[in-house]
A and B are shown apart, each in its own frame.
Chain A
């Protein structure tokens, strides 16, 4: 992965802000305060579905220290949401659609007063019938959440590529299976928050825990009915996102309204309970998969039907349902593919993007079923996958084009490393090994603004400032951009300062999602850095009487190629450049979006959404206790084609984090809903994220080659690996004890029940 030709790329480095984080100096939204700042709190509906008839806040307002109360009636702008066609949120609801749906907010001099005030707000509700199950919600006559969507179907996505019926006819073996993947919380360690300052010119400045400052700006401007230029969003350090912090939250709207009303800064920090139950969760999905194969294992056709639980609002439903189907066609060659996806409103917490964004659920289903098919046709599961693996140059039946694909190599190398052949089928040991493959976009093409930009300023002592709209949420993209800049300019990473993101000072950027940041912002940074380089090279060439093409940047020096003695220190060159000719400024400006994408056809969905795609194989080894049904993941081996690795430390961090999260998703984590649709476990005690004691070591094998489009050939790893964690584990459990769990999470009880059932069936 490393390369001798690079000074920075491929070299493991700590994040550039690691020291600030290790010493407690990194500031997150809750760590800021402003003079005269008020504290805001949200008031949620106690009912799953109810119209707000009237609000009496007089007692709250009368309480000493309370400065303002706002409700849905104060929201004067338009509905907002990430997708133009599915805008269904107002921030503070006039009709609450789930327990906890914010209906009012209060600002007071301190949090205790604000909490007391919440109790004093009296709301008269018209309680409406509610529906909690998506299949019930789709029925005629079910309670309707949003008037615009009949039978509550908010996303209705269908593909029909090739001829699935014909493909099934040509198949020697067909399987149909049904799977369920549970709803789940992102569990970011930092509960989100916002601090809003409102000034006399009518401008809002917000510091907020977000993955996308520009989306928050857009939605806030819509909801408040004010121009974009009146909203400035600044992203401080963010304590994890995982997809959950992409979108605008009611707290943004409420805090802005309260700040406007009081003409004082207002801060709202969500409690852990709010963070889990009133933000976003992963959509629960019912997944039906039908796959036909030939005797030799070749997949001939696949049909996937998904019913996803949207919860109370749409969020990114249309993108998620599109991605759920699309992701099925990435890792394998599927000549005929049909898909029916439905996302359905229910009176529960809102589903939204979550690391993998709709790919995790069908990946679990399809990879589980592939193992079942392999057994049916008496083929090794790795061989079956290898038989169908996508290859470099492939264009899928849906139009996705793979400019680089090392999936076959990933399968071969990871099975070798994991001793696949030796370890499979040893049921007597209660140990098993299982695999799964996947692929993921490196940034899906958005319908609107999709490019990223980077500006680079060079300071007179050679220090470099990078301005980017990308959002570092802990994954380390600021470090990635610093590394690329340092690589190009031949300076140490410590000489690079990254400022990101601030809607007024950094280039516009869609945000951190869809595994797009290294691909897009990395390339934009590369372009900007090369501009700086060429501007400086031109001046250096004049000063050293050489050709600009022969100028090299290395070790904080600018050389003439082949003459190690002829150089100017980098800082000196910048200084001399400033006075060069009639005066110069060294500024690089890069903007980038891939040119090989094609926005999917609105009707057929044919198109190529991403410039490139990552591919991965994950192999899990587990041990099952047959008496208790408890499973221990022993080891995970990963072959990931993420192209050229820029920072191995970050890549390993993403891989290990994916394995950990996958273990959580497989066994521990789920959001549980009570009979009134209320979340039963909105706490870190009861929403059970793994501790070190449940984790397993992850080992990576090198498989990637530089991609032709990514910066230095880099592709994504943040999401594509997680989607294969769960099915690898579930397949390993089957290898260990011969039981297949099709409904997540895998609990010890489900394993015992399945073992018992298997034994009874074996006897009869």
Chain B
């Protein structure tokens, strides 16, 4: 039986009518249309579906949409403000931290969550915080450098 729910995604309220077993990833991609969150494995082992819920990096593939009603959800699309990318997005671009781009939304959001709670993160802390986001192209070096470039810049 479908349920009506209201999700606050990227500072906008979205009313959707979905079955209770739908994951946040399914609803974002299929009901709302934010396809920036990807399914890399669907089982919580790769981080490509990472979104921010109240600023915390969660796996949308293992989160029921019903569980995050009334919470502030941010997807990669929501980091762009007034047509301008977020500093984390910019740093990823400028440091060459993006190759195929499939893991990029998840990596950027994990990095965003880290920097928001720990703006002075060390290299070790950055590596650990991003160790739940697999990347097959870059070898992570440029991803870590991109995040490092933002440390203490505020």
Contact = CB atoms under 8 A, between A and B. Distances in A.
A653 B137 contact: yes
A149 interface: no
B103 interface: yes
Nearest to B132: A691
A684 interface: yes
A242 B99 CA distance: 12
A163 B137 CA distance: 42
A237 interface: yes
B101 A21 contact: yes
A240 B135 CA distance: 10
Contact of B40 (A15, A272, A475): A272
Contact of B141 (A24, A272, A697): A697
A19 B96 contact: no
Interface string B108-120: 1000000000000
B46 interface: yes
A272 B102 CA distance: 14
B102 A189 contact: yes
Interface of B is mostly: loop
Given A189-B40, A652-B142, A656-B142, A14 B96 contact: yes
Interface in A639-679: 649-650, 652-653, 656-661
B127 A26 contact: no
Interface stretch (A27-35, A77-85, A369-377): A27-35
B37 to A, nearest CB: 8
A579 interface: no
A657 B99 contact: yes
How many chain A residues sit at the interface, stated as a range, is 35 or more
Given A23-B85, A24-B36, A272-B40, A15 B139 contact: no
A657 B96 contact: no
Nearest to B91: A22
B102 A239 contact: yes
B41 A272 contact: yes
A28 B42 contact: no
Interface in B105-154: 105, 108, 126-128, 130-132, 134-144
A574 to B, nearest CB: 29
B50 to A, nearest CB: 12
A712 to B, nearest CB: 20
A653 B96 contact: yes
A110 to B, nearest CB: 9
Given A189-B103, A189-B136, A684-B134, A24 B77 contact: yes
A187 B135 CA distance: 9
A684 B45 contact: yes
A436 interface: no
B47 to A, nearest CB: 9
B36 A661 contact: no
Interface string B22-57: 000000010000111111111101101000000000
B80 interface: yes
Output the residue of B36, B93, B104 with the most chain A CB within 10 A. Answer: B104
B79 interface: yes
Interface in A51-94: none
A238 interface: yes
A14 B100 contact: no
A698 interface: yes
Interface of B: 29, 34-43, 45-46, 48, 75-77, 79-80, 85, 89-90, 92-94, 96, 98-105, 108, 126-128, 130-132, 134-144
Given A17-B101, A189-B46, A653-B142, 17 more contacts: A14-B98, A24-B77, A186-B136, A189-B48, A189-B136, A191-B39, A239-B103, A272-B41, A474-B100, A653-B138, A657-B99, A657-B139, A659-B139, A660-B139, A692-B140, A692-B144, A693-B128
15 contacts: A15-B99, A19-B93, A23-B76, A31-B35, A189-B46, A239-B103, A240-B102, A272-B40, A653-B99, A653-B137, A657-B138, A660-B139, A660-B140, A685-B45, A691-B130
